[in-house]
Amino acid sequence: MDIFYASVNGVLLGGLYALYGLGLALTFGIMRTINLAHGDMIVFGSFMSLVVTRVLGLPALASLVVLIPAMFLLGRLFQERVMNRSLGEGIMPSIILTFGLSVVIQNALLLTFSADRQTLSAGQLQTMSLPLTEDFAIGVLPLMTLCVVIVLLIALNWFFRHTMLGRAFRATSDDPEVVALMGIDPRRTYGLAMGLAFAIIAITGVFMGLRTNFAPFDGPARLIFAFEVIIIGGMGSIQGVLIGGVILGVAQTMGNLVNPAFFQLSGHVATLLVLAIRPSGLFPETIERD
Amino acid sequence: MTDLLSLDGVTAHYGLFQALHGITLSARAGETIALVGANGAGKTTLMRTICGDLPAGGRIFLHGKDITGIPAHRLNAMGIAMVPEGRKLFPSLTVDENTQIGGYTKRPGAWSREAVYDLFPELIKRRANKALDLSGGEQQMVAIGRALMSNPDLLLMDEISLGLAPIVVNQIYEAVDKIRAAGTTIVLVEQDIGRGLSVATHVYCLLEGRVSLEGKPADLSQKALTDAYFGV
């Protein structure tokens, strides 16, 4: 039974990891750039939620009403004012840029909030559980996280397949030069895509902050999990993040079962195995550009 | 009456290399202009400067309005559509989605998805296929249909017969005839000179980035054309 309980917990943990990976998969899938500050932006989202809940006296989940539009705007500005300047020079400028930004965010958070670990509070939600059997119960919050990521994936899939803007996102990912001939400004598309990624980062930050405590330097560890998720799921594949997250989560809880010290290690080993067997991930989506 | 398209001393560079040296050209509404010339003569470069894909010197006018320096993504809404060399479909999108993207700017006019599928009925059964899975001829049809979806006043077509079987080329040129009959002004680059002359109302022969000969197809002798083409 232990194995069954560990897998259920792993799947639930995978919901949070899928959220980590989703924002990164979006930026890589559409812009073909790598955001090394992704983890720090998630932590930034958690801190911003903390500020909003304190200033407005809202519960943490309600802070999303403010955070999602604010982060969308911030993402759009970030892409249009900063990242778009590095377009067409290959992948390196964006890596250097976001690496620098990662350092800036960490230290800005440290200066503003000190190095103390913080938590978001949602009252009872964090301790509520659903009993599955007599001696096994699953947390409501982890279940909710998994449901949120599934709803997000369904919504994104609908958006990419059935709206004009969604199709424009995919066409821009395929070929930003030809898309301009169709009257689409790839720079504007990129701005909207980054806005969308930031809105998802806001959601990720809130759910992470509800689940675990966080501190200014937690970003890089989140980034590694996000990378592992998209490596397992397939670089740039939006739907692949769910499988990637679940595999990573289950690998970690299984490792934990053997020995608690293997918790992180077994996740990394699972990622390496996928890299060795299927280097482009389980569901490779992005098509190689010429 | 002003020309639909006119170029006045257009130049273009790739780095230090000057690819176009003062091209002057004009097209009245409804005309079909054929650009012919050897490889590297500047035909594709000229097309790219017209559609805003490549920065140009000199001046380019559309409907008498100076459009020099306007980026490609704004020219589509102003009435220029391009069928790029090598088709350049969006590989991860279906045939339907590729044509829909062509109509992104929602320019009003007679062309719609239904009209495009009327023009190329063989695409109907392929609508849900990824563009990558089509044959070369089918891809070319999608590329033309995609460009038509923006209801362009000026349609630029670069090497639409390249690499296709003669029977497919005939099919595509039948479609071109229908597009011309609908009143669209066309500038096309064609490797096959005979083909180019047969559809064109006016021919420009390019040689090393300059116009070496121009005129109505009927007025150009084979000898003059050959000389202009090879630069002897």
- pLDDT tens, residue by residue, A24-40: 999 999 998 899 999 99
Q: CA A184 from chain center: how many Å?
A: 27
Nearest CB to A183 within list B93, B100, B105: B105
The count of CB pairs under 8 A between chains A and B is: 71
User: Using 50, 70 and 90 to split pLDDT, how confident is the model at A288?
Assistant: low
- For residue B68, what are the β-bridge partners? none
Task: Look at residue B1 in the predicted model and tell me its pLDDT.
Answer: 55
Q: According to the model, what pLDDT value does residue A247 have?
A: 96
Query: Are the Cβ atoms of B73 and A173 closer than 8 angstroms?
Result: no
Residue B183 has phi, psi (to 5 degrees) of 100, 5
In eight-state DSSP terms, residue B111 is: -
Q: Which two tokens stand for residue B134?
A: 């089509």
**Interchain contact, A182 vs B146, CB within 8 Å:** yes
Which residue in A64, A39, A40, A69 sits closest to A52, CA to CA?
Answer: A64
- In this complex, which of B88, B92, B132 lies closest to A178 when CB atoms are compared? B88
Establish if A165 touches chain B: CB-CB under 8 angstroms: no
Nearest to A184 among B81, B88, B104 (CB): B104
| CB-CB under 8 Å, B82 with A181 | yes
- pLDDT of A290 > 60? The answer is no
- Tell me which chain A residues have a C-beta less than 8 angstroms from the C-beta of B74: 183, 185
DSSP string, B57-103: EEEEEETTEE-TT--HHHHHHHTEEEE-TT----TTSBHHHHHHHHT
Q: How far apart are CA B65 and CA B67, in angstroms?
A: 6
Distances (CA, A) of A263 to A6, A10, A252, A256, B26: 12, 11, 5, 4, 71
Q: Does A185 touch chain B (CB under 8 A)?
A: yes
Contact assignment for B105 to A185 by CB distance below 8 Å: no
Q: Which two tokens stand for residue A77?
A: 């500005």
Cβ–Cβ under 8 Å, residues A253 and A2: no
pTM: 0.91
**Three-state DSSP class for B178?**
helix
- pLDDT, one tens digit per residue, over A239-273 is 899 999 999 999 999 999 999 999 999 999 999 99
- Are the C-beta atoms of residues B81 and B184 closer than 8 Å to each other? no
Distances A161 to A25, A74, B94, B95 between C-alpha atoms, Å: 17, 26, 10, 13
B→A contacts (Cβ < 8 Å), by residue, are 51-53, 71-74, 76-77, 81-82, 84, 88, 90-93, 97-98, 100-102, 104-105, 132, 146, 150
Closest of B180, B124, B172, B177 to residue B152, by C-alpha: B180
What is the overall mean pLDDT for chain A?
A: 93
What pLDDT is stored for residue A135 in this prediction? 85
Dump pLDDT digits (tens) for A58-112. 899 999 999 999 999 999 999 999 999 988 778 899 999 999 999 999 999 999 9
Task: Render each residue's pLDDT in chain B as its tens digit; 232 residues.
Answer: 579 999 999 999 999 999 999 999 999 999 999 999 988 899 999 999 999 999 999 999 999 999 999 999 999 999 999 999 999 999 999 999 999 999 999 999 999 999 999 999 999 999 999 998 999 999 999 999 999 999 999 999 999 999 999 999 999 999 999 999 999 999 999 988 888 899 999 999 999 999 999 999 989 888 998 899 888 7
Cα separation, B46 vs B50, whole angstroms: 6
Q: Find where tokens 């890089």 sit.
A: A220
List of residues 6+ apart from B27 with CB closer than 8 A: B3, B4, B5, B6, B33, B154, B185, B187, B202
> pLDDT digit string (tens) for A136-174?
899 999 999 999 999 999 999 999 999 999 999 999 999
- The predicted-structure confidence for A165-212, as pLDDT tens digits, reads as follows 999 999 999 999 999 999 999 999 999 999 999 999 999 999 999 999
Angstrom distance (rounded) from CA B220 to CA B225: 7
User: Which one of B70, B101, B139 makes the best mutation probe of the A interface by having the most chain A beta carbons within 10 Å?
Assistant: B101
Q: Is A175 on the interface with B (CB under 8 A)?
A: yes
CB B225 within 8 A of CB B37: no
Contacts of B91 in chain A (CB under 8 A): 174, 287
Distance set, CA A151 to CA A14, A15, A143, A156 (Å): 15, 11, 12, 9
Between positions 187 and 246 of A, the ones with CB within 8 A of B are none
